[in-house]
Structures are given as structure tokens and as C-alpha cells.
Amino acid sequence: MPEKAKPAVASGGHREILVSNWKDYPKNTLRGFLSLTLPSGLVIHNCCLHEKGGARWIGLPSQRYNKPDGSVAYTPVVEFASMDARQRFQRAALEAADRHFRGVR
């Protein structure tokens, strides 16, 4: 690492995921859209909060495209290298959403 460079976590200024830009948009399982700021400082916009049958999950941004048959499909913009990493992210992101809705920072 170059001498003047700081570790990513130092520039983020927090140790937990933070939620911002909540936009309520209830439709089917969708509850709304939000931005997530990770401890590294990376901000992921246009995440979705979904809920169905007591289960909740965060959907990451995706790119819409038309398949050759004319149907619509989506491809991920970002993804996780492992199921374990995905599950850890889901837990942390949902905890962040809960804190945000309770007004706790």
C-alpha cells in the first residue's frame, strides 16, 4: 500500500452499514428503495427492501435487459463471492435498515 494511502475502513468513519435515501415504494414484495453505505465508504444506491411471509431481504442493484425472445430479464451489477458472504451482508444490511427505521444511528 502506498505510504500516503489509508486503509479503506479509515475513510468510511463507521463500523456498521448505514442506510440513507429511503424511498417508500410498496408493490408486491417490494417495500422501497434505499442506499447503503458500507464501512469501507462504498455507497450502493438503488438497493431494494423486500418482505414476504415474514421473510425480509435486501436486493442489490441490477441491470434490466431484453432477451432475444422479447422478455425482460435482469443481470446483477454486484454479487458476492460466496453464500456465506451474502448471508453476512444480508444480516448486517437488515440490521442497518431496522436501526434506520427506529431512528437510531
Can you list the domains of the chain with their CATH numbers?
8-99 (3.30.1120.40)
**Average pLDDT of the residues in 65-75:** 96
Region of poorest pLDDT, from 42-46, 91-95, 99-103 = 99-103
- Sort strands 72-76 and 62-66 into parallel, antiparallel or unpaired: antiparallel
Give percent above pLDDT 90 in the chain: 83
Checking if the pLDDT of 95 tops 80, the result is yes
Q: 102, 105, 104, 101: which is closest to 22 by C-alpha?
A: 101
Do residues 96 and 36 make contact, with C-beta atoms less than 8 angstroms apart?
Answer: yes
Residue 97 is placed in which grid cell? 435498515
**Average pLDDT of the residues in 53-78:** 96
**Average pLDDT of the residues in 27-54:** 96
CA–CA distance, 46 with 8 (Å, rounded to integer): 22
CA–CA distance, 48 with 103 (Å, rounded to integer): 19
Predicted confidence at residue 104, as pLDDT, reads: 58
**Average pLDDT of the residues in 57-61:** 97
Predicted confidence at residue 9, as pLDDT, reads: 46
**Mean of the per-residue pLDDT values for the chain?**
89
pLDDT per position as a tens digit, 3-13: 554 444 445 56
